[in-house]
Amino acid sequence: MSNPLRLGIAGLGTVGIGTVQIVQRHAGLLKQRTGREITISAVSARSRTKNRDADLSAYAWEDDPVALATRDDVDIFVELMGGSDGAALASTRAAIAAGKDVVTANKALLAHHGHSLAAEAEEHGHVIRFEAAVAGGIPVVKALTEGLAGNEIRRVMGVMNGTCNYILTRMENAGLPYAEVFEEARQLGYLEADPNLDVGGIDAGHKLSLLAAIAFGTKVSFDAVELEGIGRVSIDDIRRADDMGYRIKLLGVAQMTGRGLEQRMSPCLVPADSPLGQLQGGTNMVVLEGDSVGQIVLRGAGAGAGPTASAVMADIVEIARGSRISTFGQPAASLATPVPAKATAPAPYYLRMELSDKPGALAKVATVLGEEGISIDRMRQYGHADTSAPVLIVTHKTTRDAVDHALGRLPATNVVVGDAVAIRIETV
């Protein structure tokens, strides 16, 4: 293991440059910790002339990432371009076929092609590592594949998109409406080029599907993730939730049940004094629950050059030390095809609606809820306009189907103004 480990890095954005900087800055430290020198042979990006915060003059340049992936002087292909298809997929497959190990930060690529890529890598005797693809600098993939390998995982849960958490906590702390904070996040460069990847829950859903595959020994099934973004969360919801002792988070939850694999990424209320409730800004948090270890809480920076590059280097160091863990913690051929299951476990729900200022309006709503088997735990009415009043209801445990049926019947009562909002309250 005394020969240098040679990297080919495709993608020189913030994470790519962050990775280059770590290799340059910590060359001696990395050699001490792995027993071999880690070097960069070549790099690739869309623009050769772009000004970057690193000296790249010592490295060969490839305009085509596929050419980079197949170079004889590259041992690990480091894919940091992003995207589920195109150059990222083509170059990753080329690297595997050419006898390279792969390290990637690309959750979209693995969410859509993870099982086939893992099978290809294992067939050729190579590994794909992707710590940086999930929750930035938090070592959650390593925790699941190694630290908790002796546990039956009961549940994976967490806040996995820092942009959404920034928007929700900024709305709460500054008292600003969603649209204003969304635009602020866009101006700060926090949003993806397609903002729906963030606020629509897609980015976080990619991450959840990867963790679920490891946790429950299944093929990645992103298409089965129930997705709901944060676009409908209003400043009124933020305030009312706080008034009732809750915070709103875009929360991912995956668990295996007797009916199949539940995966959902949606706004949820969590207790304000819980670890998830206290999570501020762009920070991520992942909660893992195992039968032997109980509950483990991992918290840290979910994005950014330093944290994500740190995760990339952790995978490179793991390979340099000779570790050959299967992509999803067990051989790809042994991963089960999951049966998708919708979340049916009962939970309390937060309901917000605007009621007409008419006698008996609240009684009509309570009747509909009761007929659907939904009992009311708490209810509050706030200052109202001339013709309507906002009402907040927290239910006892019920199912989402019952809530949806009730919401579908409310317009017929002629006392509800506009659409009612329902948000699950999650036990953490």
> Catalytic site residues?
207
* Matching residue, tokens 């927290």: 394
Axis-axis angle for helices 14-25, 305-320 (nearest 10): 60
How far, rounded to the nearest angstrom, does the alpha carbon of residue 349 sit from its chain's CA centroid?
23
In sequence order, the 6+-apart residues with CB closer than 8 A to the CB of 241 are 247, 248, 269, 350, 423
Tokens describing residue 426: 């999650």
**CA 215, 221, 224, 229: dihedral to nearest 10 degrees?**
80
Nearest-angstrom CA–CA distance, 420 and 31? 59
Dist. CA 36–CA 42, nearest whole Å: 19
Rounded to the nearest 10 degrees, the angle between the axes of helix 14-25 and helix 27-34 is 80
> 107-123 and 86-97 helices cross at what angle (nearest 10)?
20
427: Cα within 13 Å, side-chain hemisphere: 9
The β-bridge relationship of strands 260-271 and 416-425 is parallel
Burial 24-47 (b: 16+ CB within 10 A, else e): eeeeeebeeebebebbbbbbbbee
C-alpha to C-alpha distance for 179 and 2, rounded to whole angstroms = 55
